[in-house]
Amino acid sequence: MITGHYGSGKTNISANLALEAAENGEKVTVVDLDIVNPYFRTADLKDMFSQKGIELIAPSYANTNLDIPALNFDLERIASGGDVHLIVDVGGDDDGAVALGRFSEPLNNCGDLEMLYVINRYRYMTREPHEAEELMYKIEAASHMKHTGIINNSNLGSETSAETVESSLDYAKELSERVSLPIVFTTAPARLGMDSSRFKSVNVLVKPIWEK
């Protein structure tokens, strides 16, 4: 489960994790639960996923001008599929996490479940660790689920530099200590070529409409 603030990079993280798992020979299913924000959808990556053998499941009206939240799939059945590497791209903030709450009971009963909170210190309303902490707990309350780790995806979009990434480490560490959760990894754009032992290299697969 990938959660976080609007624009924190949840969808891009989900896509990168899906491609990585597929490249490792795993059977991958991505569920787009973002029924709130039509501008950063996993559904935009449908063709690329198809080429890599990744199954994409999205709300009925994803990628149309009808933004009606119609969840016409059985997430419980998908999650219990056994050999499937499931990645769920959850809608932003606590509003988006409400949809996840509909499936909380069966998902909480899954043995091998990770719910990862994506943070970006450069996003409005999460620039301070205490703000990111408050939002994290709101997402948990809305989803009826608990986070297991943090992904530090602090970036400034196309203006991200090595300094941008390095400057976020103390912020992420403080949040980690405040909520007693581990930092699973800190991302860095692949174009920067940063130390792979310290940072997880990610490709920018999802761009806002003004950068396309």
pLDDT in tens, 108-136: 887 788 999 999 999 989 999 999 999 99
Angle 145-42-76 from CA coordinates, rounded to 5°: 40
What pLDDT is recorded for position 67? 46
180 within a domain of the structure (yes/no): yes
> How is residue 176 annotated by DSSP?
H
Better-predicted residue by pLDDT, 208 or 98: 98
CA-CA-CA-CA torsion sign (12, 114, 168, 138): positive
Better-predicted residue by pLDDT, 157 or 212: 157
Q: How far apart are CA 64 and CA 95, in angstroms?
A: 20
Assign 134 to helix, strand or coil.
Answer: helix
190 within a domain of the structure (yes/no): yes
Cβ contacts of 51 within 8 Å, gap of 6 or more: none
54 within a domain of the structure (yes/no): yes
173 within a domain of the structure (yes/no): yes
Say how many domains are in the chain: 1
Provide the domain limits for residue 103.
2-205
Most confident of the ranges 58-62, 78-82, 94-98, 159-163: 159-163
Give per-residue pLDDT as tens, 170-189.
Answer: 999 999 999 999 999 999 99
The answer to whether 86 and 8 have CB atoms below 8 angstroms apart is no
What strands, in cross-sheet order, belong to the sheet with 116-119? 55-57, 27-33, 84-90, 2-4, 116-119, 149-152, 183-189, 200-202
Q: How far apart are CA 194 and CA 79, in angstroms?
A: 34
pTM over 0.85: yes
151 within a domain of the structure (yes/no): yes
210 within a domain of the structure (yes/no): no
Give per-residue pLDDT as tens, 36-58.
Answer: 665 556 667 888 999 999 999 88
Average pLDDT over residues 142-153: 96
CATH number of domain containing 118: 3.40.50.300
Q: How far is CA 179 from CA 45, 97, 109, 147, in A?
A: 33, 19, 23, 10
Chain-centre distance for alpha carbon 199: 17
195 within a domain of the structure (yes/no): yes
75 within a domain of the structure (yes/no): yes
